[in-house]
Structure 1
Amino acid sequence: MITLIIFLGILVLIVLFLVNVFNRFATLRNLVKDAWSNIDVALKRRYDLIPNLVETVKGYAKHEKSTLEAVINARNAAMAVPPGDINAQIKAENQLQQSLRSIFALGEAYPDLKANTNYLDLQQKLNEIEENLERARRYYNGSVRENNTYGESVPGVLVASLFKYQHFDYFEAEEASRANVKVDFS
């Protein structure tokens, strides 16, 4: 009888432990998804501004068709990523960020464009969105760090596969997007 009580007590402790770990995984996964939804809102605002920015630049930089097409293609590729595929979205966003930098480099090369109020207004709005994205990215990366750390450390690592633990990638700028954009009109 005492053996049965001890066995049931141990079983209850194991179940409580597993419930606690499962709840922690669920909380962390939801934090990451919530953080990503903040980024997603800013990305949608950016997607809406890009066509206006491209159209404004087209009037001044007609021979820069390849640069403008690259921006539109990167935007379309980022928008085409299936919802919920955060890691693929991060890669697409890094490509879009790189192509946007080339459009702003065009602004430096065309003084008339740089003085255009529509261009300046669009650039200001895009800068605000980028600042919001940066804050959301920091929050997201903090949530990812917490999720990944828990899933890779004890006790989470002991039962991670049992609860379908999901590892998330950080949303960081790729090396290519950190380099200065070079515009050559020779």
Structure 2
Amino acid sequence: MDNLILIIIVVVCIIFVVGTLIHMYNNLINLRNRVQNSYSQIDVQLKRRNDLIPNLVETVKGYAAHEKGVLEEVTKARSNVMNANGVEETSEANNQLTGALKTLFAVAENYPDLKANSNFQQLQEQLTDTEDKISYSRQFYNDTVLKYNNVCQQFPSSLLARLFRFKPAEFFQADEASREVPQVEF
């Protein structure tokens, strides 16, 4: 009878340990997939912004033909975003594009006819909406990365994360240049 109770206790402990390990592993998989999904959401919004930019540039060209450098900078930055791979490269390219767009809108402030143009206003509103969605997506992504990285680094799940080679995810970061207000001089 004592042996039977001991066997039952050992079996229950083994089941508990195995169940806990399965739960931790599934949690790591779930969080890793959430990180990938949230990054995909950023990518969707960046693509939407990239699709709007050629229309915006064409609209501005008609009014601000001598602002060729600003328009080229926006076009080049857009191309960099489209060709970026990975979180760090995409983040850096996105920051360049954000800065170029800020400069473009600052230039547009000096063209009253452009500001009154309904196409420009509509594109600016869509781009502003998209920028808000990108900002939210970045915040959601970074929150998800934080949760995932915490689970990968906290004991005891860190042991399982190392065993199955779960790597910490990168945060999507804005650089200092994208935080600055552009200066436009004529």
The answer, yes or no, to whether TM exceeds 0.5 is yes
Q: Give, in angstroms, the shift of residue 106 of structure 1.
A: 0.9
TM-score by length of 2: 0.86
C-alpha contact 1:68 1:103 (8 A) present in aligned 2: yes
Residue 7 of structure 1: how far off its partner (Å) = 8.3
User: Equivalents in 1 of 2:100, 2:153: separation in Å?
Assistant: 35
Q: Can you list the C-alpha shifts for 1:49-79, whole angstroms capped at 9, x where unaligned? A: 0011111111122222121111111111111
Aligned position for 2:61: 58
C-alpha distance in 1 between matches for 2:140 and 2:169: 14
Q: Kindly indicate whether the alpha-carbon contact (under 8 Å) linking 1:47 and 1:75 is maintained by their aligned counterparts in 2.
A: yes
1:118-142 per-residue CA deviation (whole Å, 9 max, x = no partner) reads 1111101101111222222222121
Bigger proportion of residues as helix: 2
Query: Equivalents in 2 of 1:88, 1:159: separation in Å?
Result: 29
| Structure number with larger C-alpha Rg | 2
Q: Is the 8 A contact 2:45 2:134 kept in 1?
A: yes
- Residue equivalent to 1:89: 90
| Alignment-mate amino acid for residue 117 of structure 1 | S
**Partners of 1:69 and 1:174 in 2: CA distance:** 21
- Choose which of 25, 31, 34 in structure 2 pairs with 1:31: 34
Alignment match, 1:116: 117
Shift of 1:4: 9.7
> Quick one: distance in 1 between partners of 2:116 and 2:179?
26
Q: Secondary structure at the match of 1:173?
A: coil
Distance 1:87 1:22, change over 3 A: farther
Where do 1:3-152 residues align within 5 Å? 15-82=18-85, 85-152=86-153
What 5-or-longer segments of structure 1 have no aligned partner? none
Contact 2:92–2:174, Cα closer than 8 Å, also in 1: no
Q: CA deviation at 1:171?
A: 2.3
Supply the AA of the counterpart residue of 1:137: R
Q: Percent identity?
A: 43
Amino acid at match of 2:112: P
- Contact preservation (8 Å) 1:94, 1:173: yes
Q: Which runs of 5+ in 2 are unaligned?
A: 1-5
Q: Distance in 2 between matches of 1:168 and 1:65?
A: 39
Name whichever of 72-81 and 158-167 sits farther off. 158-167
CA distance in 1, matches of 2:151, 2:12: 27
